[in-house]
Amino acid sequence: MRGRHVDTGHGQIRIWTTDDRPGVLVLPGIRWSGRPLAEEIALGAPELPVAVADLPGVAGSAPGAAAGVGPAADALAQVAGALGVHAIVGLDMSCDLAAAVAGRVPHCRELVQVDPGYLAAAREMPPPDLTPRADGTHLSRLWQMVRNSHLFPPFSTRRAVPGRAEAPSAAALDRTVVAFAEHPEAFTALWQTWCRAGEDPFAGTRPAAVVVNSENTGPTPVVRWTGRLSRAHGHPAPVQAAAGPPSAPAHDRARRSLPLAEEPSPATASSCAAAPCATAPSGPAIVRGTAIRRDFLDTSAGQVHVRVAGDPEAPPLIALHSAPGSARLLEPLMRGLAPDFYVIAPDYPGNGESDKPWRDGVDIGRLADAMAEVAERRADGPVHLWGTHTGAVIALELCVRRPDLVRRAVLEAPPLLPAEFTSDILENYLPPLRADRFGSHLVRAWGMRHDMFLFWPWYRDRTAADRPLRVPRARELHDWTVGLLQSGPTYHLSYAAAFRYPTRDRLPALTVPALICAGPDDMLADNLPALRSAAPDGVTLASTPATCWYPDQDPAAVAETVRLYRDFLTAVP
């Protein structure tokens, strides 16, 4: 199972492939996101070469493309064109969207629509309200909605239907819910796009559809609908799509007249002009400026998910996030540094959206080696490093192990705690976070993230442990929690490795020019005197005006902090 991103005129679309040359593009609906569905297909129909898309607004796919039938269908048609698939499958809510996509792909020979009753039922109700709430209950609401869609016929929650598909495991259900939760506003827009897709002029124009479970009796097992796909076409070679859809001018005018078929944004208009949005496949785009793109890199530790920003010709900088979430929290920092650097921000193995290959035995050395592989694959020559908390000790270890690979490094608040405090942290700070059938782990994750802003450490809910911070707004706290949930049951591995890391012993071996720093709100800022005493001569230590990735930081202080980073990293030796 491999993840990749396909560039389209409406942003990136993430796909999960079971074969290097998939013949089928599957569009999930309300029951699945891309990865768990691809895994389910690989188990139920291992001989079927498929690509499963994360729909616009889901997980790593462009949220903007969710806000209209035209952009969503255009983007997915570009994916189909880039892959050269011969069949399009739409599940439940995506039945009409699949028809709109198939109508835009000249070489599409099959269209399969599975469980259309869910879409019909959705048109009779408003989209779910997933607006983040301060108590986190919107996540539980989403969990119940997705789980019920596996248990009951279309939007009926009284009696399960005989012969339905088996409900997925709690872990697979969790992946879908977290993927839907990454962009809650976009998911609401996608719901409306699903319901309007039948109005698109291209919907159903070709080929003729095969409908599975037209009786709308409930969720259809994967093996039942995969058995309806033709095997005659095998693995088609990728083909270059035509310059436009059939009767492109007339149909395009009709599509553009629909209220939801919005024109591309100015940021994507030039790429649409170069590659027509309806069908043309798109190669990797070179994006300059502060736009953030996403990618997967193959490493010895599995696929590592990365975010990148800036000019690929600029000096490369690897930005390393704190545990337990992902590099998403570093996006403001990435935008601040992108005018001067090519910024690459990976999720560690076991964290965020990278593979979870390690269940135990993780240490900072293994993580540093994995980040060295990222640097070698994405940069031509030595890189700058910026790391915070867990990322700071990974950066330190990478500097010690591979000084040939590092130009200069910023180490923000590397942990250096007394032995008894470390023992207490390792015993209490990292409770298990495993999904269960009722989604109770969502409440635990929300509570952990909430209290991390109130107390240090978060489990000491006493006034003596108060932090001088405010709990973030519900939308910000939602993002922090989703990052933790993406890491899931392996969230603790890099966290525990950072607390166990012998920072005091490794600092004297640092030979790379380095800045060790911390902002005033950082709970590890008190470590600076101890870090100063352990650091070798030549290392710069400083307090910064802000912690750039924290919420509610003063914008002027953030800008000044980014300037300090830039000045240090660009200083002439």
Across the beta sheet with 406-412, what order do the strands follow? 292-299, 302-309, 342-346, 316-320, 383-388, 406-412, 514-518, 540-543
Q: Which residues of 96-109 are buried (b: 16+ CB within 10 A; e: fewer)?
A: bbbbbbbbbbbbbb
pLDDT score, position 247 = 37
Straight-line distance from the first to the last Cα atom of the chain, in angstroms, rounded to the nearest whole number: 45
Q: Is 23 exposed, middle or buried (0-12, 13-18, 19+ CB in 10 A)?
A: buried
* Phi, psi (deg, nearest 5) at residue 5: -120, 135
Q: Which residue type sits at 192?
A: Q
Of 388, 377, 412, the C-alpha closest to 301 is 377
Encode pLDDT of 307-348 as tens digits.
Answer: 999 999 999 999 999 999 999 999 999 999 999 999 999 999
pLDDT score, position 568 = 98
Q: In whole angstroms, give the CA distance from residue 15 to residue 258.
A: 27
pLDDT score, position 289 = 58
pLDDT score, position 286 = 39
pLDDT score, position 253 = 30
pLDDT score, position 513 = 97
Please give the chain's pLDDT, 573 residues, in tens: 899 999 999 999 999 999 989 999 999 999 999 999 999 999 999 999 999 999 999 999 999 999 999 999 999 999 999 999 999 999 999 999 999 999 999 889 999 999 999 999 999 888 889 999 999 999 999 999 999 999 998 888 888 888 888 999 999 999 999 999 999 999 999 999 999 999 999 886 777 789 999 888 889 999 999 988 875 444 444 444 333 333 333 333 333 323 333 333 333 333 333 333 333 333 333 344 579 999 999 999 999 999 999 999 999 999 999 999 999 999 999 999 999 999 999 999 999 999 998 777 899 999 999 999 999 999 988 999 999 999 999 999 999 999 999 999 999 999 999 999 999 999 999 999 999 999 999 999 999 999 999 999 999 999 999 999 999 999 999 999 999 999 999 999 999 999 999 999 999 999 999 999 999 999 999 999 999 999 999 999 999 999 999 999 999 999 999 999 999 999 987
Q: In whole angstroms, give the CA distance from residue 157 to residue 155.
A: 6
Encode pLDDT of 363-372 as tens digits.
Answer: 999 999 999 9
Q: In whole angstroms, give the CA distance from residue 406 to residue 317.
A: 9
| Kind plus residue range of the DSSP H or E element containing 188 | helix 184-196
Q: In whole angstroms, give the CA distance from residue 160 to residue 152.
A: 5
Task: For residue 461, give both structure tokens.
Answer: 């809910």
Q: Specify which residues 15 forms β-bridges with.
A: 4, 53
Distances (CA, A) of 200 to 182, 270, 462: 27, 24, 58
Residues 6+ away with beta carbon under 8 Å from 512: 399, 403, 406, 407, 408, 409
pLDDT score, position 231 = 57
